[in-house]
């Protein structure tokens, strides 16, 4: 276990206030305070009230943004978790969305990015937000992934979810196998997916996966298995030509760059042990081709990671769960949030090791 004095600092954006984000952020930060100095970003009064209802023993320490801007993050021992106040626009009713709070949620992301780039935080972990509420607040928004790319002026990022399989949920998959599923496209309507997959774009996605698995996960020679887009990987062109015209040439070019990228494999039969045992990551073409498999096998223990960013960002594998939030505290499982923090810590260590 890490010493308190060497605990990395992680910014946690507490997400949609009417959802389960604030609760799971507080619970996970408190449970993991010996290993990590979590700094919660959200409305301080609301977080203090929520923490007191979860467990009156939870100790919060207020930090001001100005103090951070002047001198960085001060040292804190593991007896408290830190909070930076990002005031909400309206009173919170659990389970009830209010666009008046949308911009405050975005402000927590902006602050986490500022702090990660300034070196106050070693990584950022995001609790779930409600994409529709940000849009209802007047800001076009399709997800953290795209927003963080824009905020950091990163031309290409990759969404990857990872989790450990367990036989209870995926009986034919070996226990404790790390399953990683990356996506060639992110939050895109299905009708736009084919046009969004190009040889060059797919090449950039593969390069980012290869680079980040090496440098942020410590995998020396990443093996990437790539799905087709169409049923049966296009059936030799009879069920679509994207495999022939786009995916295969992109994979050949990646291999010529020294990357172990194989495929395209039919997506419906790729997710079986004989392939997965020989892979570090599966690259699927679109959101609902890859994520249902991952979430079926690992829901509640999975982590969402944005590759390609100039900072480390992880998140949970689930959403705001408004149904649980309105049922009261204590309903939500915070396993994925804890795993998101653990994964961020591992990535901090791997990145440091790769820079030695
Ligand atoms: N990282 C993120 O910010 C993130 C991730 C996924 C979805 N979302 C957003 O969340 C909103 C709601 O999405 P949704 O309804 O599709 O998915 P959801 O994950 O919020 O809910 C789906 C089901 O899973 C259950 N569930 C979710 N989290 C749980 C937990 N921690 N413990 C126990 N049960 C849990 C819910 O009760 C519900 O039955 C949408 O706006 C979506 O875009 C955000
Ligand atoms: N696609 C993610 C999932 O299904 O878990 C989720 O929508 C969150 O995406 P962002 O991290 O881009 O908000």
Residue 313 lies in a domain: no
Q: What's the CA gap between 22 and 300, in Å, rounded?
A: 17
Taking only the tens place, the pLDDT of each residue in 177-190 is 689 999 999 999 99
Q: What's the CA gap between 224 and 262, in Å, rounded?
A: 6
Residue 356 lies in a domain: yes
Q: Report the pLDDT averaged over residues 272-293.
A: 95
Residues 238 and 295 both lie in one domain = yes
Ligand number, closest to the Cα atom of 131: 1
Residue 184 lies in a domain: yes
Residue 71 lies in a domain: yes
Which residues are part of a known binding site? Answer: 144-145, 187, 232, 287, 295, 304, 313
User: Closest by alpha carbon to 199, among 243, 156, 249, 254?
Assistant: 249
Residues 211 and 257 both lie in one domain = yes
Return the residue whose CA atom lies nearest to atom 34 of ligand 1.
332
Q: What percent of the chain has pLDDT over 90?
A: 88
Contacts of 275 (CB under 8 A, 6+ apart): 225, 265
Q: So what's the pLDDT on residue 73?
A: 87
Q: So what's the pLDDT on residue 2?
A: 47
Residues 24 and 45 both lie in one domain = yes
Residues 219 and 343 both lie in one domain = no
Residues 263 and 276 both lie in one domain = yes
Of 308, 333, 348, which residue is a domain's last? Answer: 308
- Asked whether the predicted pLDDT for residue 138 surpasses 90, the reply is yes
Residues 181 and 223 both lie in one domain = yes
Q: What's the CA gap between 244 and 237, in Å, rounded?
A: 7
Residue 349 lies in a domain: yes
Q: Report the pLDDT averaged over residues 133-162.
A: 98
> Which carries the bigger pLDDT value, residue 99 or residue 170?
99
Q: So what's the pLDDT on residue 173?
A: 52
Confidence category of residue 1, pLDDT binned at 50, 70, 90: very low
Provide the b/e sequence for 342-356 (b: ≥16 CB within 10 Å). Answer: bbbbbbbebbeeeee
Q: So what's the pLDDT on residue 77?
A: 85
Rounded to the nearest integer, the mean pLDDT of the chain is 94
Residues 325 and 287 both lie in one domain = no
pTM exceeds 0.80 for this model:
yes
Residues 291 and 170 both lie in one domain = yes
User: Closest by alpha carbon to 232, among 223, 243, 224?
Assistant: 243
Beta bridge partners of 182: 160, 283
| CATH number of the domain that residue 298 is part of | 3.40.718.10
- Asked whether the predicted pLDDT for residue 168 surpasses 50, the reply is no
> Which carries the bigger pLDDT value, residue 45 or residue 6?
45
Measured in Å, residue 191 CA sits from the centre of ligand 2 at 19
Q: Report the pLDDT averaged over residues 240-265.
A: 98
Q: What 3-state class would DSSP assign to 255?
A: helix
Residues 95 and 124 both lie in one domain = yes
Among 124, 143, 290, 294, name the best residue to mutate to test ligand 2's pocket (greatest count of ligand atoms within 8 A of Cβ): 143
Contacts of 207 (CB under 8 A, 6+ apart): 254, 257, 259
304 lines ligand 2 (CB under 6 A): yes
Of 275, 290, 308, which residue is a domain's last? Answer: 308
Residues 266 and 355 both lie in one domain = no
- Asked whether the predicted pLDDT for residue 167 surpasses 70, the reply is no
* Counted domains in the chain: 2
Dihedrals phi, psi of 323, to nearest 5 degrees: -60, -40
Measured in Å, residue 20 CA sits from the centre of ligand 1 at 9
Taking only the tens place, the pLDDT of each residue in 61-79 is 999 999 999 988 888 888 9
Measured in Å, residue 316 CA sits from the centre of ligand 1 at 9
Which ipTM did the prediction report?
Answer: 0.98
CA-317 nearest atom, ligand 2: 5
* Structural domain span for residue 27: 1-154+318-356
145 lines ligand 2 (CB under 6 A): yes
Residues 140 and 68 both lie in one domain = yes
Residues 288 and 356 both lie in one domain = no
- Asked whether the predicted pLDDT for residue 356 surpasses 50, the reply is yes
């Amino acid at each position: 276990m890490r010493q308190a004095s060497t605990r990395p600092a992680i910014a946690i954006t507490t997400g949609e206030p009417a959802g389960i984000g604030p609760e799971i952020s507080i619970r996970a930060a408190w449970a993991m305070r010996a290993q990590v100095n979590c700094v919660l970003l959200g409305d301080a009064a609301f977080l203090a009230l929520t923490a007191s209802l979860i467990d009156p023993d939870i100790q919060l320490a207020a930090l001001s943004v100005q103090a951070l801007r002047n001198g960085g993050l001060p040292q804190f021992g593991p007896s408290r978790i830190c909070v930076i106040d990002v005031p909400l626009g309206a009173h919170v009713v659990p389970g009830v969305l209010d666009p008046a709070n949308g911009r405050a949620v975005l402000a927590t992301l902006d602050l986490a990015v500022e702090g990660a780039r300034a070196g106050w935080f070693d990584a950022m972990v995001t609790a779930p937000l409600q994409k529709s509420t940000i849009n209802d607040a007047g800001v076009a928004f399709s997800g953290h992934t795209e927003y963080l790319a824009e905020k950091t002026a990163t031309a290409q990022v990759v969404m990857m979810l990872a989790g450990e399989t367990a036989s209870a949920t995926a009986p034919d998959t070996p226990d404790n196998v790390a399953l990683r599923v990356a996506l060639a496209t992110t939050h895109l309507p299905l009708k736009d997916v084919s046009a969004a997959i190009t040889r060059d774009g797919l090449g950039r996605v593969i390069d980012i996966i290869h680079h980040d698995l090496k440098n942020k996960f410590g995998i020396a020679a990443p093996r990437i298995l790539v799905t087709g887009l169409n049923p049966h990987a296009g059936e030799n062109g009879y069920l679509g030509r994207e495999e022939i015209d786009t995916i295969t040439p992109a994979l050949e070019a990646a291999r010529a760059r020294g990357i172990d990228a194989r495929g395209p494999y039919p997506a419906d039969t790729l997710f079986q042990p004989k392939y997965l045992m020989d892979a570090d990551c599966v690259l699927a073409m679109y959101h609902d081709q890859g994520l249902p498999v991952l979430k079926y096998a690992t829901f509640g223990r999975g982590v969402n990671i944005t590759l390609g960013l100039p900072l480390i960002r992880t998140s949970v594998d689930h959403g705001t769960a408004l149904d649980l939030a309105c049922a009261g505290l204590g309903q939500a499982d915070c396993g994925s949030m804890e795993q998101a923090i653990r994964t961020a810590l591992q990535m901090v260590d791997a990145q440091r090791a790769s820079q030695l």
